[in-house]
Amino acid sequence: MPDEDRLKQIVEAALLAAGRPLALDQLQALFEVREQPEKKQLREALAMLSEAYQGRGIEVAEVGSGFRIQVRAEFTPWVSKLWAERPPKYSRALLETLALIAYRQPITRGEIEDIRGVSVSTNIVKTLTEREWVRVVGHRDVPGKPALYVTTKEFLDYFNLKGLNELPTLAEIRDLDSINRELELVDPETESQPKPASHESE
Amino acid sequence: MPDEDRLKQIVEAALLAAGRPLALDQLQALFEVREQPEKKQLREALAMLSEAYQGRGIEVAEVGSGFRIQVRAEFTPWVSKLWAERPPKYSRALLETLALIAYRQPITRGEIEDIRGVSVSTNIVKTLTEREWVRVVGHRDVPGKPALYVTTKEFLDYFNLKGLNELPTLAEIRDLDSINRELELVDPETESQPKPASHESE
Amino acid sequence: MEQTEGRPHYHPEQEEMPFAVVLGEPLATPPTDLYIPPDALEVFLDAFEGPLDLLLYLIRRQNLNILDIPIAEITDQYVQYIEMMNELRLELAAEYLVMAAMLAEIKSRMLLPKPVTEEEEGDDPRAELIRRLQEYERYKQAAEDLDGLQHMTRDTFQVHAELVDRHVEAREPDVVLREVLLALQDVLHRADMFTSHRVEKEALSVREKMSYVLQRVNAGEFIRFTDLFVISEGRLGLVVTFLAILELLKEALLELVQAEDFAPIHVKAKLS
């Protein structure tokens, strides 16, 4: 019979390699007849394993068809991203709206429309608000009481900015070259945005 | 940013849940942009994990397409009992063809045949391609435009290699000069012989 | 790799390994007189990966140095194998015959008296064959080395833990700051705002401060004018705050109230 430690290691390796729950007799069957552990010993090994997994990313669970090792529920938010779909792209209109709010805040939707020359859809404002990049800071005291939009701290965090003054000035945006230069200075991080896990290119 | 311990737990949970190797940027992509760990931190977490797996049934391995957790080879005798069928055995012809592609890539089928002195069956190329161990990277610009084969990341993954430089060293070969010296001869030209493909050792 | 199971894998250096099994009898070595029971011949041929492999075997079997092949002897043996297989009508790859012809040619050239003169002299007809044998042998070795590496599903296994309750969450789009700026550039082109007098170096910190002030002066409440200034921001910060307040007044978003001369100034949002 393998000693306690070894038994624990074999049980761990088998449960993880199987990728499905294993019953005690399936675990027994991994051993030659004369060195087969008793179920009690296997249970002990599983208990030891379970203890060793305290404070770890995984845990031992007993389910209908036996024992399995599974990811602790608290890590689901991160691990689920492995299967996340490729995110859609934002529309040009949304990006323009965002840029105008950033540069001309506080600004009303009507003012954005004046500058863009086209109307701003409710969806765009909703998306930006839900993403917590912009919020309403109040309402302009004019007929219709339009909402005044400003950018948030989350906006700065996402784009890795300490403050709005780290954005290139309008004058600098005039030509693309200066944007590129500016970005290399201001913003080396965001260029390497996370690629969705499941879409690694060769 | 999650603290060290938490980072280690998330990395462990993700590698175990993925069931395939994950590259560092795939691991980074599990985090929200503003709490994304640096690659250096991920490497540290992986090293800590690797250490925690000392004396355990599993280990962290770095292979072609990233990091994965795998069964320690010493436990294979028990773990392999989980599956009724035995692992595939590969024929010498297949292994020789694969070795030539691995060591001489990019290489055409004709070049492989020249060195092996025998034709390469279509089945072998098909098997290697289906297993995704080799792929066509282009075509040599000579009559017939033969396909050029290279090995893939999956090849590295399968053979537990980080990169091609981890392949076992190729045996020494004596060049014609030294052969001729051995033979106490001077001129290596052998114009009356069937011209072999030009495969001098690199 | 001394992998022996289930493979017609021939190892010249391992003489005790059955070379072929004929009528249930293991055959440790091929008979030196070249007699091979017909049933075994096919097995025998299967064990070789072509003429170079067969030649290597013939050489290694006699512990000969590859660089010093007794060409006449090897050629005779090789040709005998080939002829025998031909007689038995075993399907023989054409490459074996080509090699036989090549060997015969080398042999005949070796037998010729060495020309006393000129270029022919330095030309050992074996050189090219030796080169090819060496080249093949190194990849034959490489193939064995490859097989000796840790294989997945043979020597080790990828492990997997269950993710219970896995939910595919819709990812939010990633945006690079550059895209936002390019979008802005477009708008600016369209709106022809480049000439606007508002385009100033300080504009953004003033804008940011405007948002900050608006957030402080929540509608309805009076707040002391001086409370809007953050002393720790220094002189420039104070100026920016002041400009922001002026701009907000100009845009009619703020209201300043002073009850009497030299009394504290209060600020009220003109938001609703």
Q: Which chain B residues are closer than 8 Å to C144 by Cβ? A: 95
Nearest beta carbon to residue B57 from set A13, A31, A197: A13
**Is any Cβ of chain A less than 8 angstroms from the Cβ of B22?**
yes
Please answer yes or no on whether C178 and A70 come within 8 Å at the CB atom: no
Please tell me the distance from the alpha carbon of residue C47 to that of residue C23, in angstroms, as a whole number. Answer: 18
Nearest beta carbon to residue A78 from set B10, B25, B33: B10
- pLDDT tens per residue, range A76-100: 889 988 887 777 788 989 999 999 9
Residue C22 pLDDT greater than 70, yes or no = no
Please answer yes or no on whether A194 and B31 come within 8 Å at the CB atom: yes
3-class SS of residue C158 = strand
Give the chain B residue nearest A25 (alpha carbons): B82
Q: For the complex shown, is ipTM > 0.85?
A: no
**Is any Cβ of chain A less than 8 angstroms from the Cβ of C236?**
no
pTM, two decimals, is 0.64
pLDDT confidence band for B193 (50 / 70 / 90): very low
Residue B154 pLDDT greater than 50, yes or no = yes
Residue C153 pLDDT greater than 80, yes or no = yes
Please answer yes or no on whether B57 and A11 come within 8 Å at the CB atom: yes
Please tell me the distance from the alpha carbon of residue B115 to that of residue B98, in angstroms, as a whole number. Answer: 13
> In which residue are the tokens 């200034």 written?
C229
Please answer yes or no on whether A96 and C211 come within 8 Å at the CB atom: no
DSSP annotation string for A121-162: PHHHHHHHHHTTSEEEEEE-SSTT-PEEEEE-HHHHHHTT-S
Q: Does residue A106 contact residue A121 with C-beta atoms inside 8 Å?
A: no
Please tell me the distance from the alpha carbon of residue A36 to that of residue B140, in angstroms, as a whole number. Answer: 58
Q: Does residue C104 contact residue C165 with C-beta atoms inside 8 Å?
A: no
Return the minimum-mean-pLDDT range out of A14-23, A106-115, B35-44, C249-258: C249-258
pLDDT confidence band for C6 (50 / 70 / 90): very low
Residue C29 pLDDT greater than 70, yes or no = no
Give the chain B residue nearest A11 (alpha carbons): B57
Q: What are the Cα distances from residue B29, in Å, to A84, A133, A164, A195, C20?
A: 10, 20, 26, 6, 56
CA A63 to chain centre: 29
Residue B93 pLDDT greater than 60, yes or no = yes
- Fill in the DSSP letter of residue C152: B
